[in-house]
Structure 1
Amino acid sequence: MSGVRRSDPYDDEGPGPVREGGLWRALGGLTTRGRSFLAAGIAAGACAYVLGQPDLLRVGLLLAVLPLACVLVVHRTRYRVSSTRRLSPSRVPAMSQARVHLRVENVSRLPTGLLMLQDRVPYVLGPRPRFVLDRVEPGGHREVSYRVRSDLRGHYPLGPLQLRLTDPFGMCELTRAFEASDTLTVVPRVDPLPMVRLVGESAGYGDSRTRALALAGEDDVIPRGYRHGDDLRRVHWRSTARYGELMVRREEQPHRARCTVVLDTRQSAYHGAGPDSAFEWAVSGAASVASHMLERGYACRLLTDTGSCVPGPDGPGGSGGFGDDSSEAAGLLLEALAVVDHSANEGLSAAYDVLRGGQEGLTVAFLGELDDEQARLAGRMRQRTGGAIAFVLDGRDEGAGAEGPLRTLREAGWTAIQVLPGDHLADLWRQADRYHQHEGAGR
């Protein structure tokens, strides 16, 4: 949920938004009814002067003075009102709804009149919500809420909240605005993926885990003190008896497996736009794979064709951009994918320069249209010590031109899967596992 945002737009002593002009500008707040009364009063006064009817002049004065008096009253209104906006949740997947809660509190000693609220929201989130609040007693508050939904990922500003004041006769209406605003983050849709054992992956924890000092002998063990959460099977009983406290083996600490998700963002590699475009499918796929691997205990990072890496070198993990804190890394990855856009790059050389460092682990790539040169370059991205899976989205005649790049990637050791319109990532994830098993059986 977002933080609390407050402002007091009608507090003469406290900070608030700039008041919108003086009395002359307040006259612009006359409603159709107010303008009609004023015009009728002026017309009645003119007729009374021409016809010499003093009674008609009194009626004209009443009609003209009433809207002007309402303008003066509304203009002089100085309510002290605070507002609070709360997003639930503040980060929502695309095509899902979020609820915005508004709380308006009267912090003055006088009751308010009729208040009309309108919150500013971008067009893609839906129509601007409007609410009418009855009289709010001193120290009282009112709470309202509305829903927003976006099919497009990104950052969307909410607010500032606008408050419209009106008189009991509906002659004048003035709009004032709070200062505070919030940001709703719409992240890519994350699809659940099945649990399969992919080519080249090794679990970070389990029977096949890599140990830091696996070849150390019993006499070479360097124990450390027991920490909350350590597996009791790692207790080194000889050291425990020697020191009189629980000690665990250092060599029992597993090496966490790593995964790099490569996202091709080149504008020339994709065709179409909108929520159902190939590029949005690739962004959603990258988010799904990254989330899935983090849930499985992997240290995961996102790499684009521009060479940018999330988490960054100094982020969680601090080693080549791999995030060790799953929750923090997942948040960073989704935030980055929420705003990722097409790049002007023509090739994948920047991503290749990052990957050729030889970081061990699984590589999962989402690639757009590839020519022969870029297909060969992508083939060399495969880590020698880890597995590599590529999902190729080629829009040329529904993928008819992708056979060459797919063959090049497979010859380089990739498990290359062609993505066609309407394909689901979960099915392709299983297909990658079956393809690897078939290749392994054929060797």
Structure 2
Amino acid sequence: MSRLWPLTLRGTGALALAAACFVFAAQLGIDELVYFGLLLLGVLAASLASLYLTRRADSVSRTVSSELAVVGRTSTVDVRVGVRTVLPTPPGRWSDTLPSTLAGDPVGVFPALESGLRGDERTVRLSYPVTGAHRGVAPIGPLRITTTDPFGLARRSHVLRAGTPVTVTPPLVDLPALSGHAGATGGILQATTEQLGQGSDNLIARRYMPGDSMRRIHWRATAHRDELMVRQEEQESTPEATVVFARGVARYSADAAREPGADAAFEAAVTVCVSAAVSLAREGYTVEVIDADGTPLIDPLDSAGAGEARELAAMLIAFSSVVARPDDHLGELAALFTGVTTGPVVVVAGRFDPADARAIAPIAHHSSLPALFAVAPQGDALDRAADAGWRCGAFDPDADLVAAWSAIADRGASRVG
């Protein structure tokens, strides 16, 4: 039966029987059939009145079991519906509307309610599991509740249009530490000392201040200046790492610029970016994630932020809505590192050809660990990049990212997946 039709199959049959009673009463002259038909119409009217005059759903709210839904992981949506009813009502059916970013079967039985003499609002709790289908931000809703009268003759569909926005973030893969491979990358807090020369006697000295440790007195400088001098304090510096996301639409399909989740290769690249950034931050780096033109995609992520749920959530939320851009700047990336020496540089791209390998070749000499991930390498592009000093990994959307990440420990081109 159509949702717009207020009667159930049983109620429709009762209405048809009432109409038949009026027809046969006129043809056969049986007055009792008129009374019976009127009785059926009265019962139908009472059934409709019991639904539309005594019960209504006024409010709906939803919460998701996890702070953020993640692609490929299951979360639970808890729904609270505020209902007012004077008469007792039988069970009904409910269904929620999911966006394309979530997958699930949000339907179930709406429980029966006892009478509420004053019609006070009561809360009905529902729940159902959902799985992240692809990243993005979209609302759940509206919620449709269908109830019937005690006789099962009439039904009412009540639509609560209040939506609940849900953010589905890209999956985060736990990657092994790069420093555990051949040649430590230096991703730990390092103590550096400002020096005038190479010898310890050339350390910068300053005047003694109350509270300075006597062990830090610089005796040679003290004798030279005829006043107490102390060695300059050692300073901790956190090495930097950079993740470059080449997201020009020409490196993916046209769908990558349309909406999140539309292109599998682009989604794989997003997963590499967030996973690499977190992995490097946990190794002790301050990580910048930038576009190929140098535009920051997130705030810098440091070793402390990688372990805090708030910092991780902010990064994942930022990447939940990233799409490909119409222009591409990978050929200009080398200019950003001119005259700069930095820690690991991880470049993530879709299509990667020999011209791209030539363009980024100079960066390898400015990085302690230049790493390249390409979803769709062309020809001998990875071999050329490896010859320039890059550690390369090729992977497809279904490949094992952990294996591709581990492969960059070996110089040269490595295909995974």
TM-score grouping bracket, smaller chain normalisation: 0.7 to 0.9
1:408 corresponding residue in structure 2:
384
Higher strand share: 2
Shift of 1:221: 7.8
Query: Match for 1:202 among 158, 183, 186?
Result: 186
1:190 corresponding residue in structure 2:
172
Equivalent residues of 2:188, 2:284 under 8 A apart: yes
1:4 corresponding residue in structure 2:
none
Shift of 1:425: 2.4
- Rounded to whole Å, the distance in 2 between the matches of 1:375 and 1:195 is 26
Q: Secondary structure, in 3 states, of the residue corresponding to 2:237?
A: coil
Per-residue CA distance 1:263-285 (angstroms, 9 max, x = gap)? 22233324699799433322222
Query: Match for 1:303 among 272, 290, 304?
Result: 290
Per-residue CA distance 1:96-132 (angstroms, 9 max, x = gap)? 10111123345x5846624543221135512332332
Per-residue CA distance 1:266-324 (angstroms, 9 max, x = gap)? 3332469979943332222222111212222322222234654222xxx468xxxx897
Per-residue CA distance 1:345-391 (angstroms, 9 max, x = gap)? 35524655655584733211122222333322233444725431112
Equivalent residues of 1:120, 1:128 under 8 A apart: yes
2:111 corresponding residue in structure 1:
133
- Rounded to whole Å, the distance in 2 between the matches of 1:257 and 1:222 is 30
- Rounded to whole Å, the distance in 1 between the matches of 2:290 and 2:388 is 20
Q: Secondary structure, in 3 states, of the residue corresponding to 2:75?
A: strand
Query: Match for 1:120 among 97, 100, 108?
Result: 97
**What letter matches 1:30 in structure 2?**
L
Q: Secondary structure, in 3 states, of the residue corresponding to 2:127?
A: strand
Whether 1:378 aligns to 2:357 is: no
Moved more, 85-94 or 342-351: 342-351
Equivalent residues of 2:187, 2:280 under 8 A apart: no
Residue correspondences, number: 377
**What letter matches 2:185 in structure 1?**
E
Shift of 1:41: 0.8
Whether 1:167 aligns to 2:149 is: yes
Q: Structure 1 residues 200 and 285, CA, compared in 2 at 3 Å: closer, same or farther?
A: same
2:220 corresponding residue in structure 1:
none
**What letter matches 2:103 in structure 1?**
L
- Rounded to whole Å, the distance in 1 between the matches of 2:153 and 2:339 is 72
Per-residue CA distance 1:175-223 (angstroms, 9 max, x = gap)? 2233432223222222222223266832341xxx143746684742898
Shift of 1:171: 2.2
Q: Structure 1 residues 40 and 377, CA, compared in 2 at 3 Å: closer, same or farther?
A: same
Equivalent residues of 1:79, 1:112 under 8 A apart: no
1:211 corresponding residue in structure 2:
192
Shift of 1:62: 1.3
Shift of 1:53: 0.8
Query: Match for 1:254 among 236, 239, 246?
Result: 236
For structure 2, the 5+ residue unaligned runs are 197-201, 217-230, 413-417
Whether 1:290 aligns to 2:271 is: no
Shift of 1:51: 1.6
Per-residue CA distance 1:404-434 (angstroms, 9 max, x = gap)? x224323443222333676422223332223
**What letter matches 2:320 in structure 1?**
A
- Rounded to whole Å, the distance in 1 between the matches of 2:10 and 2:346 is 65
Equivalent residues of 1:157, 1:184 under 8 A apart: yes
Whether 1:281 aligns to 2:268 is: yes
Query: Match for 1:73 among 34, 44, 50?
Result: 50
Equivalent residues of 1:224, 1:250 under 8 A apart: no
Q: Secondary structure, in 3 states, of the residue corresponding to 1:113?
A: coil
- Rounded to whole Å, the distance in 1 between the matches of 2:67 and 2:145 is 23
Equivalent residues of 2:97, 2:143 under 8 A apart: yes
- Rounded to whole Å, the distance in 1 between the matches of 2:128 and 2:209 is 57
Q: Structure 1 residues 415 and 57, CA, compared in 2 at 3 Å: closer, same or farther?
A: same
Length-normalised TM-score, structure 1: 0.72
2:402 corresponding residue in structure 1:
426
In the TM superposition, 1:19-38 aligns within 5 A as 28-38=5-15
- Rounded to whole Å, the distance in 1 between the matches of 2:148 and 2:293 is 54
- Rounded to whole Å, the distance in 1 between the matches of 2:18 and 2:278 is 69
- Rounded to whole Å, the distance in 2 between the matches of 1:355 and 1:214 is 25
Q: Secondary structure, in 3 states, of the residue corresponding to 2:347?
A: strand
- Rounded to whole Å, the distance in 2 between the matches of 1:380 and 1:269 is 21
- Rounded to whole Å, the distance in 2 between the matches of 1:96 and 1:157 is 18
In angstroms, what is the RMSD of aligned CA positions? 3.8
1:233 corresponding residue in structure 2:
none
Length-normalised TM-score, structure 2: 0.76
Equivalent residues of 2:242, 2:343 under 8 A apart: yes
**What letter matches 1:430 in structure 2?**
S
2:70 corresponding residue in structure 1:
93
Q: Secondary structure, in 3 states, of the residue corresponding to 2:409?
A: helix
Q: Secondary structure, in 3 states, of the residue corresponding to 1:125?
A: strand
